[in-house]
Structure 1
């Protein structure tokens, strides 16, 4: 099975923390949508006939599209690829775009899962992030989606934010759990150099919360969601039983996916492709019949390191026998002492020939993975 990701690179305004590819200039929207249609035609055989089980509209802000534009893209993908009946079709949305009329229209064109970027319910913190929506819209969006018939809803939250005390974060968690979404993704603020926050930090205008704040918020997050019956199936992702994100899980399980749109990535088990992060050049190249991308062939070391990086973030961990059979890599033998130390510290466990990080270990997932990488 395979997935398709569409990057819709438009936003109403620039959030101060965001490093994703986007533009606030919506004038070229129609040309860019036509370019995505053209790229899909040119990439029709990239997945080698493999059935598509997930389609994901990310961004940017895909909810800026008219429902008809989203529907046209979905219809075209169904014509070009074998999209499974009942495929998971996710659209990322901002709360301010989700009117009853828009939600009903999205349901009609085939969207069956929403990923709503709430981030926080605290109005001062939202303003400090330069988010386009209000706290009132954050409160209202999930009930509106329920009323429109959506029964698979994910919300995004952020923690470790400027002005977000432990009390404010606890209120965010309580309000999120009261909405009982099927899925919650929660991310700690990362200061990226080219963002407004990055520039302000460099100039001393912004003093970001320290790592200890992020760790405190992360522990509050995991404890609250586990108590509420959510499964912690990936470092940043939680779900009610049976509601994990099939699309994101396909990345972590090393399945094929095709990325369409500027800045999108593709993977076919042998190589990776990267689309250029420039809307104008993306459009021009496709109008000229040229795919706007670069690629790289993956070697044995790349495959092993990627499997470690993605697998250790998940609740099912990494399959040690798979590493031996597929890549002739004996992780236990080559890292015996370090793995024993991790288990003794309660950071990892071995179970049915799988290595999994504990809740304590996931706090150090990046550090642990780096120690296990083949360099």
Structure 2
């Protein structure tokens, strides 16, 4: 089984981020205690099985102090069996990761860090409204490795406006120099409810140049491949098999429990969405109520989600599973579409699965939506 904990606090709002978080930490302890209570309330949500992965996401989970982190992990250990080789990931910002903090995380059992570097270029960090400096980004990785946390992923953002591709190449080369085992690379997007969204509306910034973004993506994929990084999901690259086991469980449609404000849970047939409001979340949990909206997934929902996530990965989508999920309707509806996509060299097949080709990866979401089924 897989467990996600949403820690909904940040020191400041990045200009591009539309995840649920608050910069008001006055009720942080109350939220943590509510998450503890939700873990206990939902311990039977999934059939009993060892926890294979734990993921602290956010928000900024590195804002948890040592006592709060231990409280959460102790509660998990009291009510679940955590596998001895479980992957335990914590998302973190570089400005939180001083030596004492990193030692604290290591001692608590965190064995994988996902660090929000975004760029090693100071002007780009300022443009994104990141708290940390380029030097802090570099130093925290080195200190973590010295302490013994070697399973490190970093986030990089590409398509940040620049005259050419040299800054992206410098970011990639810095990643190589730091011996990072995993990279998540995301295209800069402008979401409506963000500072960038507001600026775009007021014409203070220009829309993302799609051709420039595609060029940057191609440079990323090519350069990382030449240096031993496998693109096992469209936005994720691993060296020596250091995949994110937790995120891979999502892409493979495995059930998971999510706790905390705005967290999602999935049991194979339905999905639940916790309320995206810290105060309302705490209030409900204190009354022993799970503040979640239930969505029962239809065969079309399950098929379409599988296509959307599975096609993005190296594992592709299984032909038999597509038929099973869709009620034996997938091929009767999409046989001609599959032939057209194959002729364009956007998808390929073997005896068991369908996969995106390298050229198809540039159109992943479009291809998936073309293959969606309707009720």
* Same fold? TM cut 0.5: yes
C-alpha offsets along residues 100-149 of structure 1, whole Å, 9 cap, x if unaligned? Answer: 11111101111000000000011001001100000111121211110010
Structure 1 residue 130 corresponds to structure 2 residue 106: no
Alpha-carbon contact 2:260-2:274 (below 8 Å) kept: yes
Whether contact under 8 Å (2:189, 2:208) holds in the other structure is no
1:10 — aligned with what? 9
Q: What do residues 166-187 of structure 1 show as CA deviations (whole Å, max 9, x unaligned)?
A: 1111111111122121110000
- Using the alignment, how far apart are the partners of 1:372 and 1:325 within structure 2? 15
Instruction: Give the distance between the partners of 1:335 and 1:302, measured in 2 at CA.
Output: 16
Relative to 1, partners in 2 of residues 1:31 and 1:214: Cα closer, same or farther, differing over 3 Å? same
- Which whole-Å CA distance do the structure 2 matches of 1:207 and 1:36 have between them? 40
2:336 corresponding residue in structure 1: 337
Residue pair 1:312, 1:369 contacting (<8 A) in 2 also: yes
Q: Distance in 2 between matches of 1:346 and 1:241?
A: 28
Partner in structure 2 of residue 287 of structure 1: 286
- The farther-off stretch of 320-329 and 184-193 is 320-329
Structure 2 regions of 5+ residues with no counterpart? none
Residue 332 of structure 1 and its aligned partner are, at CA, apart by 4.2
CA shift, 1:331, in A, is 3.8
Q: Structure 1's 359 and 67: CA in aligned 2 closer, same or farther, altered over 3 A?
A: farther
Q: Is the 8 A contact 1:68 1:109 kept in 2?
A: no
TM-score normalised by structure 1 residue count: 0.97
Q: Name the CA distance, whole Å, in 1 between partners of 2:61 and 2:128.
A: 19
Equivalent pair of 2:95/2:132 in contact (CA under 8 Å): yes
Match of 1:25 in 2: 24
Structure 1 residues 166-177: aligned runs within 5 Å: 166-177=165-176
Count of residues in Structure 1 that have an aligned counterpart in Structure 2? 374
Q: Which deviates the most, 176-185 or 152-161?
A: 176-185
Q: 1:370 to 1:364 in 2, by over 3 A?
A: same
Instruction: Say whether residues 1:259 and 2:258 are aligned partners.
Output: yes
Aligned partners of 2:77 and 2:265: how far apart in 1? 18
Structure-2 residue corresponding to 1:158: 157
SS of the residue corresponding to residue 363 of structure 1 reads: helix
Q: How does 1:243-254 map to 2 (within 5 A)?
A: 243-254=242-253
Q: In the superposition, relative to structure 1, how do residues 233 and 16 fare at CA in structure 2: closer, same or farther (>3 Å)?
A: same
Partner of 1:213: 212
Q: Which residue of 2 aligns with 1:80?
A: 79
Residue 326 of structure 1: CA displacement? 4.6
CA deviations on 1:253-280 (whole Å, 9 max, x unpaired) are: 1111111110100001111100011011
Secondary structure (helix, strand or coil) at the match of 1:156 reads strand
Shift, 1:35, TM fit: 0.5
Q: Is the 8 A contact 1:320 1:330 kept in 2?
A: no
CA deviations 1:252-308 (Å, max 9, x no partner) are 111111111101000011111000110111111111221111111111111111111
- What's the offset of the Cα at 1:341? 2.5
Alpha-carbon spacing, 1:215–1:162, altered in 2? closer, same or farther (3 Å): same
Partner Cα separation in structure 1 for residue 30 and residue 161 of structure 2: 38
Asked whether the 8 Å contact 2:302–2:325 carries over to 1, the reply is no
**Matched position secondary structure for 1:14:** coil
Distance 1:102 1:270 in 2: 40
Matched position secondary structure for 2:256:
strand
Aligned residues of 1:161 and 1:208 also touching (Cα < 8 A): no
